[in-house]
Structures are given as C-alpha cells and as structure tokens.
Structure 1
Amino acid sequence: MTPETAAAEVDAAPKPSWARGALHRGLVALPLVAGLATAGWLVVGRDQPATPTVPAQAALTAPAAPTGPSGPSVLQASAPVRAQEPAQGAAGGGGSPLQKWADSLAGPLDIPAPQLVGYANGELTLRKERPGCHLSWVTLAGVGEAGNDHGRRDGTPLGLSTAQFQKYGSDIPGIAKPALTDPSSASVAAGRALCASGVDLTAGNGWWKAVAGYQNGSGMELFRQRVLGYAQLYATISLAPAKSGAPSVRATRFALGQLGLPYVWGGNGPDAGAAGFDCSGLTKASYDSAGVSLPRTADSQFRALPHVPGGQEPQLGDLVFYGSPATRIHHVGLYLGNGLMVNAPTEGQAVQIHTFHTPGDDYAGAGHPAD
C-alpha cells in the first residue's frame, strides 16, 4: 500500500477555514528552513540529468510510510515568463502613465501601488544601466514578496540590508535623496544587486544565480523558490488581471503559501492538525481555499476532473498527474506555468517547486478543476 492509497483511509479531518497560507500565518516552516539546502531541493540545468535526494536530516521530520512511487523531484533552472510591460513616463507621480499602470494592477496582484511603481522604475532604470541583464519588474516583485510581503512587515521594500543599500543605492536617477524605505530607490538598488554579476536574467541559469546571490544563508533556497513562484504568478496575472479572483489563481496563491512545509504522509496541512501535506492533500487544500471541492487522493482527482487535451500545455492552477491512467495515478501537483508545478513530492522533502515533466517520467496528463 503506497502513501497515496493509504491517504484515502485518513480522510476524516474536517474541512478547515483556509487562511492566506502557512508561511504568512506564523512560524510553521522555520524548523525546515535550516535544512532546505540539503533536504530535497534539487536544481539542474536544462541539459543535466538528476535524481531526487532524500537525506536523513529531512527524513526525521516525516512519518514512516510504506515505500512507493513518488512525484518528480527535479527543478530545472528557470526564469519567469515575460510579463505586461510597465508604462513609460515619469517616475509615477500624479496621473502619469506609470502611476495609472500601477493603479490598474495593484488590486489584481495584491501589491501596493507605490511598490509596483518602484518595481517598474527598477526595471526601467536597469534597462539603461545594464541592458544585457534584462531585469523584469516581476522578479523584483517576487523578491519583494519573499523578502517582507512588499514592505508590509517592516516597511523596508525588497528586504534589502543596510549594507546592500549602501553599496547599490547611491545616485538613483531622478531621486535627490535615495532612501532604503523608498520603493523606487530600493528597487533600483535591488536591480543593481541582481545584475551585478553580469548575468542575463532571461536565462534560467543566470536568473537562478542572481537570486541566489541576493540572499545567502540557511534560508536561501526557500527564498529563491518563493521569488520564482511569485514572480511567475505575477507575470501570469499581469497578462490577464481580470482573472485574478478566479479559483485557479486563488488555489495557486494558497499552494505557494505552503512552500517549505514538510511532506507528511496523509497530511492535510496545519489547519487540519498536520505539520504539512502529502501531494493530493496539498491540491485538495489549495482548491478548498478557493471554494472548489476535490476528491482526496491523486487517483480520484484524476478521474473526477475534465482532462486537458493531450499535447496542450496545462494552465495556471491545473492539476498535473503521474502514474498509469489504466491502473492507478500515484502523484499530483499544481501547475504554476512555464513548465513548473508546486507539489509535495515525497518523504524527506518540503513542499516546493519542481519541473512538471521531464523525459522518462510517468506524466499521465493534466486536469482542469476550475477557471
């Protein structure tokens, strides 16, 4: 009996009232953060084969369970897709095109308009200073979310240290007195820090290297995954802001909020009394948070949902499945876009972002829970 089969037998927990996400609710993820660099995070280039790792340090946090197939555990280096272009114009004051652009996206993205103006100014400034870097405002927005929820937690945009700002925050074009708490000053400084090594941020390896260098330490891998996840989400929403309240977007936001929680066999998440999730527990909880009820196991979810036509790329929020359609589906993840998914892979690994389909895996197709 595999973990996913057994999970059907523990589906007795009541449906919780889901909040924004575990990482925003408190300190649930902190016991795992110190071990994430060696606890199942696996990053490879597009042309490099890899196999999943399950070190003993992380395995201590997961319950014993029968062995069985798990989901994909490879994250190929990736950069967020192109987003809606920021409007050209003045720095954002009054009724400038840039201010109007920020005002139109602030609600759909759940980012304060002043922060959006700052992120856009960061991109526009770095276009002139480092045109080969190709910095996008969505990368800055991902850093802003991962750093301190766009300044909401401590008022310092992008989580810049004083030392970083002193190094990169002087002489900001159009700003007489740059300040660490000013979104545009901070965004330009952050952009300079990301572009300092001469990388091209449209290339996966360059983007990954730049974000890794932005924040070092024990929490770096979780930080980098959160930047990638939210940057990808913001890029997608920016191209279709009217869909920002759709169940698929709400479910994706929830799933991203669980990054760093442990895989727990049969787990339905902290609101249901578990430290983390198994794969179908995560997808079910994500859609519960959006008001869409799914069956509990990966196999039952696969058979209950309308399928995405073969050869067609899944869309944001679609579920991606692994196993044999004729016999049993053993794993499921939530599609993020750009070839990425959020999933709870297996014992010893945290909820994280992985590449959803690589040669030789047993990808079985995608299902569409809701728009």
Structure 2
Amino acid sequence: MSVVAVVIGVAGCGRGPDRQVGAAPPGAGEPLPAIQLVAAGRQAAPLQDWARNRGGKYGIPARALQAYGYAAVALAKTQPGCHLGWTTLAGIARVESDHGRHRGAKIATDGQVKPPIRGVALDGTKGNARIVDPDASARTGHTVFAAAAGPFQFIPDTWKRWGVRADTDYKTLASTLQKANPAASNELTGSPDNIDDAALAAGRYLCASGGDLSTARGWRQAIFAYNHSDTYVRQIHATATSYTR
C-alpha cells in the first residue's frame, strides 16, 4: 500500500461532473453503540469493545476503527444532515495509509501514529501538484514543498482549515464541528498524525464538501473533493463497501 501523492485539499472544492454521479453510496456499516459526548479525554475509548469485536473481521486495527466510529458519532450529533458513515472514513484511511500502518507505522494507545507517515514532496514533478509550505519556508528561509501528513494524508494548509483536536471537551468540540470555520486556536487544531484528530478532520471536510453523503451525488462530490480522480472515487467506493458485509 503506497501513500497517495495527490491528496486532500490539493484540488480545491472538488465538484465532479453530474453525469458521473454513479452508484449509491456505500452503506453505513455495522451500527455504532450510543456513547456520551461530554467531557474531555479520549472520547473514542467507549467504542473500544465495539472496535475490538469487528477489527479482525475487516482487517482494521481496533484503535483505528475506534477513531472512525467516534468521528461518525460526533458528526452525526453536530451535523445530522451529513450522514457520514464510518465505512467511508475507513475506506479513505485504507487507501491513504493502510489504516495508519504504512511502512510499518503503528497506532499508539493515545492515537498517535508512529513513526509519522509522510507523502512525497509536492514539487510539481511526476504528475504531482506543486504546493509550497509557507510556514516551513518562512522558518528555513528557502522554499519548502508541502508533503501530506498522517493516516488521512493532509497537506499543511488543509489541516489548518479543517484540523480539530478530538479529545477537546465536547461543548468546545461541538462548536467547532457545527461550523466550517477553522478551530479557534492552534491548541484545538490537534495533529494530522493522531488518528482520532485526523478522522474527525476528514469527516468535517467530507461533510462540508458533499453535504448529504447519503445521496449518490453528495457522497461522490465529497470523495472527489478529497482527491480529484474518478479512479480514486471508485476505489474508495469499493473499499468502503467491503466494510458493510
């Protein structure tokens, strides 16, 4: 499994041609248990048993499945019109990083993926987009090209826009998730190398890009925004669908 080079946010808003809407979106997968969304801390922890009992069946690390499940629960609460299924997040993470296992990486108990997963430098060669990392360039005094980071392969500017720290207290988290604005502070943006944060940020991006993901048009538009490739959309559809069986 190789990390996808042309990744989230590279291509802009991502509206695909209407004639290519295609098949119905993947199913939502096995139901998630009801969990309370209240305090700060590892919010995905209540899904531990649910994830452990299903991870082997789907070939997904239980810690990763917890993250996908929590993101789906949190967004169902804060953006009920989005209808994001954990299967869609799992499909993306499988294609982007083999659920955080790319090149032997592992997911720690706190959700950190180590060693960090990085994509190729997006320098405009070999068919990749050309994207400069302005912060890194300012720090080093020379041009630094962006590289996608983490299990969901965010580029720096996109993470700034959609990044969110999943273990924030729910009241603060809900305020962020209900809006399309960046998190209020750097502390609340979390890390693209944390699978809880990355799954939730990916969910925010998908909901903002597609609207209602229970529709064929909305789901396709969201995935096409993530990576402007019809092949990619089909790949995510097939992978996410495999988690509904």
Question: Could you state the TM-score of these two structures normalised by the residue count of structure 2?
Answer: 0.60
Out of 60, 64, 67, the residue aligned to residue 111 of structure 1 is: 60
How far did residue 83 of structure 1 move? 1.2
**In 2, distance between residues paired with 1:193 and 1:162?**
14
Task: Quote how far apart the aligned CAs of 1:171 are.
Answer: 5.2
The AA in structure 1 aligned to 2:79 is R
Distance in 1 between residues matched to 2:30 and 2:211, nearest whole Å: 22
- 1:75-86 superposed matches below 5 A: 76-86=22-32
Q: Where does residue 170 of structure 1 map in the other structure? A: 164
The structure-2 alpha-carbon separation of the partners of 1:45 and 1:221, relative to structure 1 and needing over 3 Å to count, comes to: closer
3-state SS, counterpart of residue 235 of structure 1? coil
Paired residues for 1:45-194 under 5 Å: 76-89=22-35, 91-93=43-45, 96=46, 98-153=47-102, 155=117, 156-170=150-164, 172=166, 174=168, 178-194=190-206
Determine the C-alpha separation between the residues in 1 that align with 2:24 and 2:223.
Answer: 11
Query: Following superposition of structure 1 onto structure 2, how do residues 275-286 of structure 1 map, counting pairs within 5 Å?
Result: none
Partner of 1:233: 242
**Separation in 1, partners of 2:98, 2:165:** 26
- Unmatched runs of 5 consecutive residues or more in structure 1: 1-23, 31-41, 47-75, 237-371
SS of residue matched to 1:157: coil
Deviation at 1:110, TM superposition (A): 0.7
Query: C-alpha separation between the residues in 2 aligned to 1:187 and 1:116?
Result: 10
Q: Compute the displacement of 1:80 (Å).
A: 0.4
Instruction: Give the CA deviation at 1:173.
Output: 5.6
Q: Tell me the SS of whatever aligns to 1:211.
A: helix
* Partner residue in 2 for 1:215: 227
CA distance, structure 1, for counterparts of residue 210 and residue 88 of structure 2: 16
Q: What stretches of structure 1 move > 6 A for 4+ residues in a row?
A: none
Residue identity opposite 2:243 in structure 1? Y
Name which structure has the greater RCO, CA cutoff 8 Å, separation 6+: 2
Q: Post-superposition shift, 1:88?
A: 2.6
Alignment of 1:274-353 (within 5 A): none
Tell me the amino acid that sits aligned with residue 242 of structure 2. Answer: L
In structure 2, distance between residues paired with 1:160 and 1:198: 18
CA distance in 1, matches of 2:157, 2:244: 30
Q: Aligned with 1:201: secondary structure?
A: coil
Asked if the contact 1:122/1:187 (under 8 Å) is kept, the reply is yes
Match of 2:211 among 194, 199, 206: 199
Check the 8 A contact 2:165/2:197 in 1, yes or no. no
Shift of 1:89: 2.5
Change (3 A) 1:78 1:44: farther
Q: Which structure has the highest helix share of the two?
A: 2
Residues of 1 paired with 2:157 and 2:96: CA distance?
16
Task: Give the deviation of 1:44 after TM superposition.
Answer: 4.0
Whether the aligned pair in 2 keeps the contact of 1:164 and 1:193 (CA below 8 Å) is no
Question: Is this contact kept in 2: 1:199–1:206, CA < 8 A?
Answer: yes
Residue type of the partner of 2:194? Answer: D
Supply the distance in 1 between the matched residues of 2:198 and 2:52 (Cα, whole angstroms). 20
Instruction: Tell me the distance in 1 between the aligned counterparts of 2:72 and 2:220.
Output: 18
Moved more, 156-165 or 122-131: 156-165
Between the aligned partners of 1:112 and 1:82, the Cα distance in structure 2 is 18
* Percentage of matched positions with identical amino acids: 29
RMSD between superposed Cα atoms in Å? 2.6
